[in-house]
Amino acid sequence: MPGVDVRFFEDERGSVPVLDWLDELRRIDRYGHARCQVAIQRLALFGWDLRRPHTEYLGGAIYELRIRVRRVQFRILYFFHGGGAVVLTHALTKEQRIPEIDLARAVARRRAFEADPEARTCEKRWNNA
């Protein structure tokens, strides 16, 4: 079971959207935060071998981590780059499908990352989230 290095997308302002969201989630829903942390750990441990129900391919090289907490579906969108996985964005939905705007945001961030991986990689480690 090959693990992967999990990295986080950093935007041009130096903001790391998923880590910012996880910080906020920790304050308002500790259980949801813990479940998201476990999902990211699972991605780090299993990488490409991670399958449903934990992950799903969405298209455009984008995958989603699927975390159900009560009636809410947390989604963490990522893609594989080199030997690692890059976490791009998050989404919340009460439905089975991810909103198109969230998928479009992930694709745009993937392109920005691929254009300059060094500038778009957050230096913080995911377990510090």
pLDDT tens figures, 29-79: 999 999 999 999 999 999 999 999 999 999 889 999 999 888 888 889 999
Stretch among 14-28, 40-54, 65-79, 84-98 having the lowest mean pLDDT: 84-98
CA distance 33 to 118: 28
Q: Look at residue 129 and tell me whether its pLDDT is greater than 60.
A: no
C-alpha 127: how far from chain center: 13
The whole-angstrom distance between residue 79's C-alpha and the CA centroid of its chain comes to 8
- Domain 5-117 listed as CATH 3.40.50: no
Q: Report the percent of the chain where pLDDT is more than 90.
A: 56
From 108, 77, 113, 112, select the one nearest 92 (Cα to Cα). 77
Closest CA to 54 of 45, 64, 44: 64
CA 64-15-10 angle, 5° bins? 55
- The rounded percent of the chain whose pLDDT value lies above 70 is 90
Residues with Cβ < 8 Å from 22, sequence gap 6 or more?
A: 33, 36, 37, 129
Name 21's Cβ contacts closer than 8 Å, sequence gap at least 6.
Answer: 90
In the prediction, which pLDDT does 117 show? 93
Q: What is the pLDDT of residue 95?
A: 63
Can you tell me the distance from the alpha carbon of 49 to that of 66, in angstroms, rounded to the nearest whole number? Answer: 15
Question: Rounded to the nearest 5 degrees, what angle is found at the Cα of 111, between the Cα atoms of 108 and 115?
Answer: 140
